[in-house]
Amino acid sequence: MPPAIMGKSAVFLDRDDTLIENVPYLGDPNKVKLIPGASSAIAELRRSKLPLIIISNQSGVGRGLITKEQVRSVDARMEELLGGGKIFTHYGHCYAAPGDPYDDRRKPSPKMLQEAATTFGLNLKESFMVGNRLSDVQAGQAAGCQTILLNLRVPPEELEASVQIASFTAQDWSSAKDWILEQLTKAK
C-alpha cells in the first residue's frame, strides 16, 4: 500500500456521462469528448491531492463488442484531454455483461470501491462517489461513501430515486467539486 494515501479520503468517479460523453460501447479514442466542466473540476480535485479512482461498468467487453485494450485506449485519451499524465490512481472496470457469472462486481455492487479501498488503504466513510446513474449512487451508498449525483444526463426514470438517496445533487461539475471540497474542510 502506498503510505501517502493510507486512510485517506478519495473520489470515486463513474466514467461515461460523468467524465466523458457516453457513446455506447465506446472503443474509439477519437470519439472521446469531455463532459463540460469536468476538466477544471478534476484539475482542482487533483490539486487537493485526493486519489481519483474510476469505477465503471464496461459490459461491452463481456458482450464481445469491444476489447479491454479499446477500453484502455479510451481511458488514455480521456486522461490526455483532462491534462495528461497519470491523473487517476486506479481504474476499477467491471467487464462482465449483466447476468454473466462474474457480474457481482457490477455497479450497484460496492465491490469495486471496496477492492480499491483495500488496495490503497482508503477510508470509504470519508470518500465520495460521483456519477450520473442510480447504480453509481447505490454503489457509493452501499460502500459507505458520500454520494454525489451529477445531474447531467441522468436517465429520467432514475432521477427521482437517485435524488432521494444521494448525499448531494450537483447541477454541474463546479458545484460537485465545491461540495466535495467543502465536506473535506468540515471534516478537518
178 is catalytic: no
Of the candidates 1, 10, 4, which has an alpha carbon nearest to the alpha carbon of residue 51? Answer: 10
Other beta carbons less than 10 A from residue 144's beta carbon: 16
What is the C-alpha to C-alpha distance for residues 135 and 92, in angstroms, rounded to an integer? 15
Sheet with 11-13, edge to edge strand ranges: 90-94, 52-57, 11-13, 128-131, 146-150, 168-170
What is the C-alpha to C-alpha distance for residues 155 and 162, in angstroms, rounded to an integer? 10
What CA–CA distances, in Å, run from 9 to 19, 63, 124?
Answer: 20, 34, 7
What is the C-alpha to C-alpha distance for residues 119 and 129, in angstroms, rounded to an integer? 17
103 is catalytic: no
Residues belonging to the chain: 188
The residues annotated as belonging to the active site are: 14, 16
